[in-house]
Structure formats: structure tokens, C-alpha cells
């Protein structure tokens, strides 16, 4: 189960270290307004429910410190092959379209030991920083 801070579930971005620091910075000081996770790897194996519209989540940094709060505005579960260009742009990580998103995220998930195919279910979460 994810930790709770101030009554909110926490949300961690990327892997601890430079990856997390970069992603949290993109949220707090950039225009990152979406994220994606693996249904099996990030939710089912952790025993966590999928976020819901209106939910407030505590963004944590590398030290587990609450550095920002996000409000979920949209959630979709999609096949990896069906991720839209809109998500790639809303993630604001440099991917310009869905093909870029699939290439960069496949590389990341493979690097951390996950197996991803076109049919792998992805949870996409759109949010506002509040």
C-alpha cells in the first residue's frame, strides 16, 4: 500500500534518484500534467486502487517529503498500443507523439524489469497541480 500524507495517498514519479527529481521538477516548474503506469506492475502488485477523478494525491520527492498536491482530472486504462498523442504531450517529458511515448516508456519499463507488449494495460492519469 502507498503511504499517506495529510490524509492523501502519496504518488511517486519515476525511480528514486535523478529520474524522480527530474519528473517532480517538470510537475512543479513545468507543464507535466499526465502520467502513466502499468496496471499489473504499479497497481495490482501493490494492492492499490486506480486513482479516481477528483482525488487529491501528495507528490513526494526523493526523501518522501510532500512537495506538491495534484488533483486527478481524468483516468483511463488503455492498451499500450492505444496510448494517444495527447498523453505523450501532457506528460511533457519530451515525447512528441504516441510512438515516441511507446519507445521511451518501453525502454524505461524494460530497464526496470517489466515486460510490456501492445496488449499490456496502462493506467493514464491526467491531473492539475494545486
Instruction: Provide the domain limits for residue 78.
Output: 4-129
Segments in the chain below pLDDT 50: none
pLDDT of residue 71: 98
**Whole-structure pTM value:** 0.91
Burial 59-95 (b: 16+ CB within 10 A, else e): bbbbeeeeeebbebeeeeebebeebeeebbbbbebeb
The C-alpha cell at 106 is 518501453
Number of domains in the chain: 1
CATH number for 24: 3.10.400.10
Q: Cα 83 to chain center, whole Å?
A: 13
Query: What are the tens digits of pLDDT across the range 33-57?
Result: 999 999 998 888 888 899 999 999 9
Q: Cα 110 to chain center, whole Å?
A: 16
Amino acid at each position: 500500500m502507498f503511504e499517506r500524507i495529510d490524509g492523501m495517498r502519496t504518488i511517486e514519479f519515476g525511480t528514486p534518484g535523478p529520474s524522480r527529481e527530474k519528473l517532480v521538477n517538470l510537475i512543479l516548474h513545468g507543464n507535466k500534467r499526465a502520467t502513466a503506469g502499468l496496471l499489473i506492475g504499479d497497481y495490482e502488485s501493490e494492492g492499490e486502487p486506480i486513482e479516481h477523478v477528483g482525488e487529491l494525491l501528495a507528490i513526494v520527492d526523493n526523501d518522501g517529503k510532500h512537495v506538491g498536491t495534484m488533483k486527478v482530472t481524468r483516468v483511463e486504462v488503455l492498451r499500450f498500443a492505444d496510448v494517444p498523442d495527447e498523453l505523450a504531450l501532457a506528460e511533457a517529458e519530451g515525447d512528441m507523439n504516441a510512438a515516441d511515448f511507446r519507445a521511451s516508456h518501453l525502454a524505461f519499463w524494460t530497464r526496470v524489469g517489466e515486460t510490456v507488449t501492445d496488449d499490456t494495460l496502462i493506467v493514464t492519469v491526467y491531473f492539475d497541480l494545486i
